[in-house]
Amino acid sequence: MKLEQQIPRNALIWIVLAQFSLLLPHLGRVPMWLVLVYVAAAGTRVLVYQGRWSFPSRGVKVVCAATCLGGIWLSYDSLIGLEPTVALLLVAFSLKLLELAQKKDAYLLLFLAYFVCVTEFLFSQELQVTLYLLAVVTVITAALVALQQPEKLEFSLLPLRRAGVMLLQAFPLMLILFLVFPRIDPLWSVPLQRQAAKSGVSNFMSPGDISNLSLSGDVAFRVQFDDFVPARSQLYWRGLVFSKLEDSTWRALTWSEVPANERRPLVVQNLVGQRFDYSVLLEATQQNWLYSLRYARPSDLGVMSTNDFRLQSPIELEDQKEYRVSSWTDIPIELELSDWRREVETQLPLSGNSRTRELAQQMYSEAGEDSRSFVRATMAMFTEQDFHYTLRPPRLGGNSMDEFLFESRRGFCEHYAAVFVYMMRAAGVPARVVAGYQGGELSPINGTLIVHQFDAHAWAEVWLPGEGWVRADPTAAIAPERIERGLQYSMGDDEGFLSGSPLSPLRYRNVAWVNLLRLRLDAMNYSWQRLVMEFDSAKQYNLLSGLIGEISPARIATLVGVIWMLVLGPVLYTLLRRPARAKLDPATLSYLDFCDRMAAQGCVREPRETPADYARRAIEQRPEWGEQVMAITGAYETLSYLPPLQDQEAQLQKLRNLVRGFRPRKQ
């Protein structure tokens, strides 16, 4: 192999560092054996470089590739989907080290590295992820720079510095393209099948589903109110309405189950009470439903209202979505209940949970068959009797309502909401389960309300004559601190808030500096998502309209030309200007001044021409300069090429005087 085709040691180290940096953010979602594959491939390549091993044969590489392919199949039960595809790409990227023999192989590997870098955005686009990937791009570019420095035998940080300068020079161009170039959806916004479980509230609810969400500290969505934030006890974020009970599982009605005449959203004409205007930035859920306060009217065209007063997106949310909403939390809704809706919201399975049915009918009779009195009596039962609110309820069997109400009496919000609705329906009172989130954390940094997954909640809505659908939350009766202060303050010491996530900063909100750092990071993430990630065609159009007025090809071309001049002007100046002389020694500065005076008379010094050769050529052109030119050249050579003299300063002053006195005139 020719020397110029060999991979320098410094470049090989940077390539290994780049690969490790790319693998690091995927550690939480790829099987651990994939990390071992990378370590083995990197170790093998280092041993090959040291001459201890030789490159693996083709058969060995085929066996390695086939084994890894089988490992991905066993780990994900499929080769189709986002996670297995990314894992397959990472495996191929790691095994490429086994045939990294020449510079052309390194170029291919590093160009592939830029593509692998983008794959992390398929899972997260937060600010800290972006900053990390920017650092990774710098490392990859440093490896490319190191490939061009075969003389570097030891590890050096110089390629990293040069790569950073190159990226800083490219930043203005990136900014221009971001602001002016037509908006095209990025790769990470393309719908892709994922193997991971869907995040957030699901379209069905069984005992334990909501409590499982409460083990996560991930952000569900963020809300920015235009004016003031409602009291925490009013922050019920409706997402789904469960109207059907089948095999102890509550689920929402499908589109086909709703008659055509009932599908049209109901509109409240008399909007009274306090109005709240706000915007919601919802994390990707791979679901259609959106979250809002009671009776919400969306401002965006891409948000639909349903016949049970929810908001919904026409497509699944594969990416973050921002939408604006206005809500009236106090107005009565659906004062008249249709026969179909009444039948649906009072329907129960034909059999099962007989003790709960009997108790409900007995209490309804004792309440004088008055719905309001019955609701109050049921709430009082949860408050006065020995019921417990816990994240760790016992497992329930087929008659889950009977077992919970008469035996365990321990449950989370979904248990209480479910049994409450069951009792209402058993007495013939229309009721349904509502799932979503309750509360949120108000950030003092930017006034944003942060709703986490552990804020997931289930409550009930009951229909009362003259009032319409009214919220009834049994959790507020059994554990009022959950509604007033949040989940963290309603859990017992034995359960532990976010006990499965010991490194979550949310567990240390009582530590002032940790909490402040977390909130500042969240505020930056919120601004990043709104200003950058949500910068779509509409926002780009508004920005350009504000800058140039009417949008036209001529004005766009003019804007781009002006920006290019502003961006490239300093770069061109840096490239074309004469080398700075500030770092040169005083003798050389004086001699270059002499060369400039000569050049003004038409005698320009050639590149790499020695002072002596330049002096001879100048004298040949202008003999009358001979004495002065030789004196200046001799003084400069004495100062530059001889050992330091005792009268160094005197000699330097002599040179300066000779140059000042040299004033040739053109013939």
Q: SS3 helix, strand, coil % of the chain, rounded to 5?
A: 50, 10, 35
Model confidence at 185, pLDDT cuts 50, 70, 90, reads low
**Is the pLDDT reported for residue 358 higher than 60?**
yes
Per-residue confidence (pLDDT) for residue 376, from 0 to 100: 95
* Alpha helical stretches, state H, 120-156: 127-147
What mean pLDDT do residues 257-271 have? Answer: 87
Q: Is 621 exposed, middle or buried (0-12, 13-18, 19+ CB in 10 A)?
A: exposed
Per-residue confidence (pLDDT) for residue 500, from 0 to 100: 62
Per-residue confidence (pLDDT) for residue 425, from 0 to 100: 96
> 603 or 560: whose pLDDT is higher?
603
Per-residue confidence (pLDDT) for residue 366, from 0 to 100: 94
* Alpha helical stretches, state H, 77-184: 82-95, 103-119, 127-147, 158-180
> 163 or 247: whose pLDDT is higher?
163
Least confident of 45-54, 281-290, 535-544, 655-664: 535-544
Model confidence at 211, pLDDT cuts 50, 70, 90, reads low
> 645 or 358: whose pLDDT is higher?
358
Q: Give me the residue label for tokens 């309750």.
A: 438
The CA angle 648-649-653, to the nearest 5 degrees, is 120
Phi, psi angles (nearest 5°) of residue 369:
55, 35
Query: pLDDT exceeding 90 applies to what percent of the chain?
Result: 37
Per-residue confidence (pLDDT) for residue 198, from 0 to 100: 43
Q: Compute the distance between CA of residue 96 and CA of residue 93 in angstroms, rounded to an integer.
A: 5
Residue 251's beta-bridge partner residues?
A: 204, 244
Domain ranges of the chain: 3-189, 204-508, 547-575, 586-661
Least confident of 71-75, 260-264, 408-412, 482-486: 482-486
Are 325 and 281 in contact, with CB atoms under 8 Å apart?
Answer: no
What mean pLDDT do residues 511-540 have? Answer: 86
Residue 298's beta-bridge partner residues?
A: 325
Query: Which pair of tokens denotes residue 257?
Result: 């189950």
In terms of Cα–Cα distance, which of 247, 146, 196, 250 is closest to 28? 196
Residues sharing a CB contact under 8 Å with residue 166, sequence separation 6 or more, in sequence order: 141, 145
b/e code 427-464 from CB counts within 10 Å (16+ = b): bebbbbbbbbbbbbbbbeeeebbbbbbbbbbbbbbbbb
What mean pLDDT do residues 293-301 have? Answer: 90
**Is the pLDDT reported for residue 493 higher than 60?**
no
Identity at 102, one-letter amino acid code: Q
Q: Is 240 exposed, middle or buried (0-12, 13-18, 19+ CB in 10 A)?
A: buried
> 166 or 432: whose pLDDT is higher?
432
Total residues belonging to the chain: 667
Residues annotated as catalytic are 413, 457, 473
Q: Compute the distance between CA of residue 177 and CA of residue 184 in angstroms, rounded to an integer.
A: 11
Model confidence at 645, pLDDT cuts 50, 70, 90, reads low
**Is the pLDDT reported for residue 550 higher than 60?**
yes
In terms of Cα–Cα distance, which of 249, 255, 262 is closest to 202? 249
Q: Compute the distance between CA of residue 200 and CA of residue 662 in angstroms, rounded to an integer.
A: 83
Least confident of 15-19, 220-224, 392-396, 590-594: 392-396
Per-residue confidence (pLDDT) for residue 21, from 0 to 100: 93
Per-residue confidence (pLDDT) for residue 496, from 0 to 100: 58
Query: pLDDT exceeding 70 applies to what percent of the chain?
Result: 90
Model confidence at 186, pLDDT cuts 50, 70, 90, reads low
**Is the pLDDT reported for residue 480 higher than 90?**
no
**Cα-based distances in Å from 180 to 5, 169, 363, 566, 571:** 41, 18, 68, 15, 21
Per-residue confidence (pLDDT) for residue 197, from 0 to 100: 41
What mean pLDDT do residues 460-468 have? Answer: 94
Model confidence at 196, pLDDT cuts 50, 70, 90, reads very low
**Cα-based distances in Å from 162 to 17, 65, 157, 180, 273:** 17, 36, 9, 28, 62
Per-residue confidence (pLDDT) for residue 470, from 0 to 100: 95
* Element holding 434 (H helix, E strand): strand 431-438
Per-residue confidence (pLDDT) for residue 320, from 0 to 100: 85
SS3 call for 625: helix
Its pTM stands at: 0.74
Phi, psi angles (nearest 5°) of residue 148:
-90, 10
Give the chain's radius of gyration (CA, Å). 37
Residues sharing a CB contact under 8 Å with residue 644, sequence separation 6 or more, in sequence order: none
In terms of Cα–Cα distance, which of 459, 461, 454, 408 is closest to 430? 461
The CA angle 2-7-8, to the nearest 5 degrees, is 110
* Element holding 219 (H helix, E strand): strand 219-225
Report the chain's mean pLDDT, rounded to a whole number: 85
Per-residue confidence (pLDDT) for residue 58, from 0 to 100: 87
* Alpha helical stretches, state H, 464-510: 474-478, 480-484
Q: Compute the distance between CA of residue 458 and CA of residue 449 in angstroms, rounded to an integer.
A: 20
SS3 call for 162: helix
Q: Compute the distance between CA of residue 106 and CA of residue 148 in angstroms, rounded to an integer.
A: 11
Residue 223's beta-bridge partner residues?
A: 280, 449
Q: Give me the residue label for tokens 């297995």.
A: 84
Model confidence at 131, pLDDT cuts 50, 70, 90, reads very high
Q: Compute the distance between CA of residue 530 and CA of residue 183 in angstroms, rounded to an integer.
A: 15
Least confident of 211-220, 449-458, 610-619, 626-635: 211-220
Model confidence at 337, pLDDT cuts 50, 70, 90, reads very high
**Cα-based distances in Å from 633 to 408, 452, 506, 660:** 104, 78, 74, 14
Residues sharing a CB contact under 8 Å with residue 637, sequence separation 6 or more, in sequence order: 611, 612
Are 414 and 220 in contact, with CB atoms under 8 Å apart?
Answer: no
**Is the pLDDT reported for residue 100 higher than 60?**
yes
Q: Which of 500-509, 519-528, 583-592 has the highest mean pLDDT?
A: 519-528
Query: Which pair of tokens denotes residue 158?
Result: 């110089």
Model confidence at 642, pLDDT cuts 50, 70, 90, reads low
Q: Which of 3-17, 193-207, 431-445 has the highest mean pLDDT?
A: 431-445
What mean pLDDT do residues 221-248 have? Answer: 92
